[in-house]
C-alpha cells in the first residue's frame, strides 16, 4: 500500500532508509493513512497481532479510498466488495 501511495503522489524515494518517512510526510504525518500504516507496520507503540491485522485492514480501506479515481470499473467492483467484507466483519 505504501508503493501505491508513493506512485500516486509521485514520491521520489531518496533511499530505502527514508522511504516510509517520505511517504508519511507526503500523506501527512497526522493523516489516517500514516496512522494506520505505522500501527500495521508495528512502528507505533506495542500492539498485538490482532491489532496490527485490524490496522492493516483499516489501511487498506484508506488506501482504496485514495486511489479510487485511478481504478477501472472492474477493479472498483473488487475494491467495493472487499470493503463490504471488511466492514461486515466489524
User: Which is higher by pLDDT, 1 or 59?
Assistant: 59
Grid cell 490496522 is found at 55
The pLDDT of residue 30? 93
DSSP character string of 1-14: -HHHHHHHTT----
Rounded to an integer, what is the distance from CA 27 to the centroid of its chain?
A: 10
Identify whether the C-beta of residue 53 lies closer than 8 Å to the C-beta of residue 89.
no
Three-state secondary-structure class, residue 47: coil
**7-63 pLDDT tens trace:** 777 888 888 878 888 988 888 999 999 999 999 999 887 789 999 999 999 999 999
The pLDDT of residue 75? 93
Q: How confident is the model at residue 80 (pLDDT cuts 50, 70, 90)?
A: very high
Amino acid at each position: 500500500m505504501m508503493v501505491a501511495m508513493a506512485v500516486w503522489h509521485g514520491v521520489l524515494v531518496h533511499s530505502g532508509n527514508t522511504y516510509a518517512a517520505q511517504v508519511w510526510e507526503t500523506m501527512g504525518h497526522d493523516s489516517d493513512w500514516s496512522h494506520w500504516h505505522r500501527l500495521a507496520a508495528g512502528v507505533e507503540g506495542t500492539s498485538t497481532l490482532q491489532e496490527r491485522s485490524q490496522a492493516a485492514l483499516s489501511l487498506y480501506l484508506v488506501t482504496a479510498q485514495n486511489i479510487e479515481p485511478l481504478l477501472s470499473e472492474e477493479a472498483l467492483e473488487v475494491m467495493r466488495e472487499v470493503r463490504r467484507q471488511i466492514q461486515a466483519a466489524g
